[in-house]
Amino acid sequence: MSESPVMFKSDYVVWKAEYLITNGLGGYASSTILNLNTRKYHGLLVAKHNNERYVVFSCIDERIETDGKIYELGTHHYKKDYDANKEDIFHPQGFKFPVKSDISPFPKFYYHIEDEGVAVEKEILMPHGKNAVLVHYKIKNKCSHPRSIKFFLSPLLNMRNFHKNLHLSDLNENFMTDVSENQKHVLAGHKNLKLKFTSELNFLKKEHILWNTFYREEKERGYDCFEDLYCPGYFFDKFNEGEKEITIIATTDENIKIEELNYETIRSNEILRIKNLANLTRNKGDKIFQNLSILADKFIIKHTDGYGIIAGYHWFDEWGRDTMLSIPGLCLTTGRYEIAKDIIKRWLNFLKDGLIPNFIPVNYPFECPNNSSDASLWLFNAVYHYYIYTKDVKFIEEIHQKLCEITEGYIHGNSTCKMDADCLIISNPQTTWMDTKWTKREGKCVEINALWFNALSILKFFGKLLNKKFIYEEILENVKRNFEIFWNVEKQCLYDVISDNKMDESIRPNQIFATGLPFNVIDNERGRKIFNVVFEELYTPYGLRTLSKKDENYIGIYEGNEENRDKAYHNGTVWPFLTGSFIDAYLKINNYSVESKQNAMKFLTPLLEYSEKFGTIPEIFDGDFPHNPRGCIAQAWSVAEILRAYSLLI
């Protein structure tokens, strides 16, 4: 988390840097640090409604009037003639007034109208566990002589699923605004979803539409990049000298008494909650660890039936693989053991044919897709880490039968994978974490079989712990012996996939899992050779490339429409989460020496610096220099694995 303000200098910071705060329900507030929405996923309030997420409150346009002059602090991007390829138009141009922004502990923006001696501070809060947002303003009249300052705050609404933009046809359908008699309370929206507003100010109903606002990130990603926004009217007031404080409160929750959402109380409660998060950790004195622990909290959400982990913001929901990979970092290193246990139990409730779902769809509790050949194996890993942290034998005993069901599912086969005669696992196309059609990886995948060995070894470990007979010893021995077929003698590393005795020699990071798991299927001597190849061909300061630059299929920039991005997704793009297993492997082959820990910290430093500056760690980076961030701006397993790796080094 940034201790110093982000100054508006570089093009990247001005146009790309984004803030994110979350409410523990899956909702959030997010935009660029200029308060210019560049994505359909941006908004002051993105709320969970009927198990889906809706952008309900896009932004606020602020206007200051003094001595007959008008200053508008909002910013919108437009294109001429509704054409995304035409000239850029920015109106109003509030980006001319910001001086700096803070992202810690809450997004805060400072505006200075120098000619008039007017300063404005804007802070955004989300009360934890509520679909609500508070936008607080502090307006200062620094002029030496008394004069009137008028200000107007115009909320702009979307009221739509966060994957879809709002257009005229939607706006014509039952949009409405009601204002209370005292003009302090506003109810706006449509028949299916309404937003309650309140403020100390009076509200004037004056409905209008902002046409054709443009989202440049959606244009770059090949999606609908225009949206129409509904404005119900504006809050207004004036004062002559000194300082004025104003709070706009908005919520979609019908049961919330909006007047009880006091700014000072909410702010104090959130600061205390954040402080308590840092104090949960075993490393209370380490500032970096505390800040990473606070970032981890953004992904943990509460359901009526338990906890979950959002895989990434803005657009991902709960994914099995991501959840299990993230539990050790997000929950265990941070001391949130009960939440870790609850999440594991919740996912085991979905177990079918030895598989937990690839993801939990928004129409849950309907059937979940079981098309991940590794999510259940990562669950074994999460359970093992849980036991190492807690020594909770009772929980292991409680779920032991479920772990055996998973094992049987892999042995006898299911819709996603099956065990071959040599006891190695064959995966169906697009069922590993590299799951686009451009990296089908059908057959015996190196990381799946490393995870399979790890899972069987964990089950054996638990069997001894519970004094239960381990009936898979022969399979375990066969996996270890037959894994030998992955060894590429010529390149001194591991093949990526073996299918019908055809060896895929692509240099990919999947082989690092063979030497970076709790139970390794290969010895340290070969592990060192694997590490050297991975370091030489895949390492970048922000993680491992998904394919060697020497490969003819390598794509170094992740950009363009969905097809172009999918081609690059696992063919060169850098993934920060791989840094965790990369460091595990490095420490193991060097016997966790002091020197190896010091060197491993150097591997982590660029990502630690990124998280400090921008308040999180993204999903991916470009494979090519300068390794621009791409994909989700905040990814659970990116933060989780960096946090877990850092905990090994301090």
Domain count of the chain? 2
Nearest to 54 by CA among 173, 124, 159: 159
Region 88-104: what's the mean pLDDT? Answer: 83
SS3 638: helix
The answer to whether residues 436 and 572 belong to one domain is yes
The answer to whether residues 266 and 302 belong to one domain is no
| Residue 293: CATH number of its domain | 1.50.10.10
What's the whole-model pTM score? 0.93
SS3 585: helix
pLDDT of residue 10: 40
Task: Take residue 232 and report the two structure tokens written for it.
Answer: 């119900």
| Structural domain ending residue among the three candidates 221, 245, 272 | 272
| Structural domain ending residue among the three candidates 272, 289, 310 | 272
Report residue 335's pLDDT band, with 50, 70 and 90 as the boundaries: very high
Longest CA–CA span in the chain (Å) reads: 88
pLDDT of residue 440: 83
Q: 65 pLDDT exceeds 80?
A: yes
State percent of the chain over pLDDT 90. Answer: 73
pLDDT of residue 258: 77
In a domain, 263, yes or no: yes
Q: How does pLDDT run across 437-484, given as a tens digit for each residue?
A: 999 899 999 999 999 999 999 999 999 999 999 999 999 999 999 999
Q: How does pLDDT run across 305-320, given as a tens digit for each residue?
A: 899 999 999 999 999 9
Q: 302 pLDDT exceeds 80?
A: yes
Report residue 6's pLDDT band, with 50, 70 and 90 as the boundaries: very low
The answer to whether residues 303 and 263 belong to one domain is no
Q: How does pLDDT run across 16-35, given as a tens digit for each residue?
A: 789 999 999 999 999 998 89
| Residue 165: CATH number of its domain | 2.70.98
The answer to whether residues 315 and 263 belong to one domain is no
Note down the domain range covering 227.
6-272
Q: 116 pLDDT exceeds 80?
A: no
Q: How does pLDDT run across 159-209, given as a tens digit for each residue?
A: 999 999 998 777 766 688 888 877 778 888 887 888 999 888 889 999 899
The answer to whether residues 476 and 370 belong to one domain is yes
Region 288-296: what's the mean pLDDT? Answer: 93
The answer to whether residues 254 and 350 belong to one domain is no
Q: 382 pLDDT exceeds 80?
A: yes
> Assign residue 233 a region: left if phi > 0, alpha if psi is -120 to 50, beta otherwise?
left
Region 275-293: what's the mean pLDDT? Answer: 82
Report residue 79's pLDDT band, with 50, 70 and 90 as the boundaries: confident
In a domain, 65, yes or no: yes
Tally of CB atoms within 10 A around 364? 16
Alpha-carbon span 260 to 79, nearest angstrom: 41
The answer to whether residues 229 and 369 belong to one domain is no
In a domain, 578, yes or no: yes
The answer to whether residues 303 and 224 belong to one domain is no
| Structural domain ending residue among the three candidates 231, 250, 272 | 272
Region 406-432: what's the mean pLDDT? Answer: 96
The answer to whether residues 290 and 156 belong to one domain is no
The answer to whether residues 333 and 421 belong to one domain is yes
In a domain, 521, yes or no: yes
The answer to whether residues 191 and 313 belong to one domain is no
In a domain, 1, yes or no: no
Q: What is the mean pLDDT of the chain?
A: 91
The answer to whether residues 325 and 215 belong to one domain is no
